[in-house]
Amino acid sequence: MSQDPDQAKKLQELLKLLSLSNGDTSKLTVQQRKKFEEYKFWRTQPVARFDEKVDNEGPIDSSRTPADIPSEPYPLLKEFEWCTVDITNPQELEDVFVLLNENYVEDQDATFRFNYTREFFNWSLKPPGWHKEWHVGVRIRDSGRLVAFISAIPVTLKVRGKEVKSVEINFLCIHKKLRAKRLTPILIKEITRRVNKCDIWQALYTAGVVLPSPIAVCRYAHRPLNWSKLHEVGFTALPANASKTQMIAKYTLPKGTDTPGLRAMKYEDVDQVFDLFNAYQDRFDLVQVFTKEEFKHWFLGADTVIYSYVVETEGKITDFVSFYSLPFTVLNNPMYKELGIGYLFYYASDADLGFDDRFDPAATSTLKKRLNHLISDVCIIARDLKMDVFNAMSCQDNTLFLDDLKFGPGDGFLNFYLFNYKAFPISGGLTDDNSFDVKNRSNVGVVML
Ligand SMILES: CCCCCCCCCCCCCC(=O)SCCNC(=O)CCNC(=O)[C@H](O)C(C)(C)COP(=O)(O)OP(=O)(O)OC[C@H]1O[C@@H](n2cnc3c(N)ncnc32)[C@H](O)[C@@H]1OP(=O)(O)O
């Protein structure tokens, strides 16, 4: 790859964007954070200070009821107006994905963009119990143009065994031209108001940026499925000591899957998979509790977005795995229009369910073997669906297979936050030097889109 300064800068941005670092952690910077007092907005919110000692887990402020919450939206500058985005209306849905596709994440040279689709939004923003009022937008009063968005969906969390009625906040986005104008705090206060009005006081959210205060930190990992294409579009560099042929050989997967009984999940499987899934999730300290209806939505609710598979042996389902698709559009490239990207979502296996302790060496070894096999097959399925890279995080039991299956640690970290809830830290699957913690794994059992 040529290394003129522009090219090098671009490459660096791209690596940051998808965090494909080929396992090179030497350039990792320690995440910078301000002092708590310098977070002008966050210091006013019910969140823990950095390194605050937690005595008891639970709500920070539980003094209010919906009647104490204002009925009117927060004031905005007169050029702007609030809107509730009706994503069942094709034009309004279009407004959201134009905003996100153009402003959510993009490298500076406008070479790549997330290619959010209608199907993706219908799946991610309309789970059972969704509220229209929780799809909050800001429009320019004169033109009606949507320039900011934030969303909440209802979820039930379980934090170390305690159920917490919450929302998940996602897709916060402000048009590039309106950045650094303190619109974010207003959007957050407005969505908080709308959620509080429904008598919900806690939220889960994730961000790459460090805010007060993460309860867990996970790291991205990337498994190239089509190394030549990733290289050709400038996503991944050729290491100095390797040839292209060697890199292609390194990442070549077997021709077909080889787990007997592996097949796409069907509606008829839901009862069995639901029980297996709940039994498996029980091991983690932070999970989302799904109703059966939610389970169907999240795992079977959107063709071409969510892919779910099971392993069935003599009528019994022993394993379940799912991943979702969120491609990048490649702009201005003569050869490629799109990069296919798969994201590991939830999975479950009965491999170690017979053990009392998941860290028992025999339990670890049996689950590790099973997961390596299963996820390797999932990578093959993803490759056959024309995905070019497969992403996973260091959460769940993923550290048991990430290194073995050639997932390279990314430059990106994801911080997990709870709003208005104090909790002891939860391990995110990382050691002190930020490599994957194979021994202790992670106790984060929630996967955020
Ligand atoms: C009970 C119900 C509760 C519901 C609410 C729960 C909380 C939900 C919280 C939201 C969860 C979102 C989950 C996701 O969707 S994370 C995804 C975030 N989106 C993107 O990265 C897309 C591209 N970026 C943008 O659109 C903008 O850069 C954003 C909107 C991110 C910031 O725009 P801008 O750069 O123009 O900033 P500002 O001048 O308006 O505002 C500056 C203030 O905002 C604080 N800031 C910056 N980034 C984030 C961030 N990602 N979460 C929370 N706070 C953030 C910052 O520390 C500062 O506060 P303080 O340092 O002075 O204190």
187 Cα: distance to centroid of ligand 1 (angstroms): 9
Give the Å distances, CA to CA, from 338 to 21, 171, 219, 379, 388. 21, 21, 25, 18, 10
Residues 241, 356, single domain; the answer is yes
CATH of the domain at 256: 3.40.630.30
Q: Is 7 helix (H, G, I), strand (E, B) or coil?
A: helix
What is the maximum alpha-carbon separation in the chain?
Answer: 66
Structure tokens, 336? 């490629």
- pLDDT at residue number 101: 85
Check: CB of residue 380 under 8 Å from CB of residue 257: yes
The 10s digit of each residue's pLDDT in 144-186 is: 999 999 999 999 999 999 999 999 999 999 999 999 999 999 9
Check: CB of residue 288 under 8 Å from CB of residue 312: no
The 10s digit of each residue's pLDDT in 398-441 is: 999 999 999 999 888 999 999 999 999 999 999 999 999 999 99
Question: Which amino acids bring their CB within 6 angstroms of ligand 1?
Answer: 39-42, 103-105, 167, 169-174, 179-185, 188, 191-192, 195-196, 200-203, 205, 207, 209, 211, 419
Q: Give the residue, by CA position, lying nearest to ligand 1 atom 23.
A: 104
172 Cα: distance to centroid of ligand 1 (angstroms): 7
- pLDDT at residue number 16: 54
Check: CB of residue 372 under 8 Å from CB of residue 400: yes
Check: CB of residue 50 under 8 Å from CB of residue 213: yes
Residues 244, 197, single domain; the answer is no
In a domain, 235, yes or no: yes
Give the Å distances, CA to CA, from 400 to 193, 217, 440, 447. 41, 17, 10, 17
Pocket test residue of 65, 172, 192, 201 for ligand 1, highest count of atoms within 8 A of CB: 172
Closest among 305, 297, 263, 338 to 153, alpha carbons compared: 297
Helix ranges, 127-238 (H): 183-197, 227-232
Backbone angles phi, psi at 325, to 5 degrees: -110, 130
Percent with pLDDT over 70 in the chain: 92
Q: What is the mean pLDDT of the chain?
A: 92
Count of domains for the chain: 2
Residues 232, 353, single domain; the answer is yes
Percent with pLDDT over 90 in the chain: 83
Name the pairing type of β-strands 162-174 and 202-207.
Answer: parallel
Given 187, 209, 231, the domain boundary residue is: 209
For the entire predicted model, the pTM comes to: 0.93
Residues 116, 245, single domain; the answer is no
According to DSSP, residue 239 is labeled: P
In a domain, 116, yes or no: yes
Atom of ligand 1 nearest to the CA of 196: 1
In a domain, 436, yes or no: no
Strand order in the sheet with 112-114: 112-114, 328-330, 338-339
In a domain, 292, yes or no: yes
* ipTM, two decimals: 0.99
In a domain, 428, yes or no: no
Residues 301, 350, single domain; the answer is yes
The residues carrying an active-site annotation are 449
Q: Measured between alpha carbons, how far is 81 from 137 in angstroms, rounded to an integer? A: 8
Given 190, 209, 228, the domain boundary residue is: 209
Residues 229, 195, single domain; the answer is no
Q: Measured between alpha carbons, how far is 392 from 124 in angstroms, rounded to an integer? A: 18
Domain of residue 380: give its range: 5-19+217-422
- pLDDT at residue number 18: 53
Residues 200, 291, single domain; the answer is no
Under the banding of pLDDT at 50, 70 and 90, the label for residue 6 is: low
Under the banding of pLDDT at 50, 70 and 90, the label for residue 12 is: low
Q: Partners of 173 in the beta sheet? A: 149
Structure tokens, 158? 């379980």
- Neighbouring CB atoms inside 10 A of 308's CB total 22
Structure tokens, 175? 């048009």
The 10s digit of each residue's pLDDT in 90-125 is: 999 999 989 998 888 655 566 778 888 889 999 999
Residues 145, 237, single domain; the answer is no
Residues 282, 408, single domain; the answer is yes
- pLDDT at residue number 116: 86
Residues 12, 29, single domain; the answer is no
293, containing H or E segment: helix 292-300
411 Cα: distance to centroid of ligand 1 (angstroms): 20
Residues 260, 400, single domain; the answer is yes
Residues 411, 345, single domain; the answer is yes
Give the Å distances, CA to CA, from 180 to 174, 184, 185. 9, 9, 11
In a domain, 433, yes or no: no
Q: Measured between alpha carbons, how far is 241 from 49 in angstroms, rounded to an integer? A: 45
18 Cα: distance to centroid of ligand 1 (angstroms): 20
- pLDDT at residue number 97: 85
The 10s digit of each residue's pLDDT in 209-244 is: 999 999 999 999 999 999 999 999 888 889 999 999
- pLDDT at residue number 108: 54
In a domain, 442, yes or no: no
In a domain, 439, yes or no: no
- pLDDT at residue number 13: 58
- pLDDT at residue number 332: 81
Given 176, 209, 242, the domain boundary residue is: 209
| Residues in Cβ contact with 280 at an 8 Å cutoff, skipping those fewer than 6 apart | 347, 348, 349, 350, 353
The 10s digit of each residue's pLDDT in 54-85 is: 999 999 999 999 999 999 999 999 999 999 99
- pLDDT at residue number 7: 56
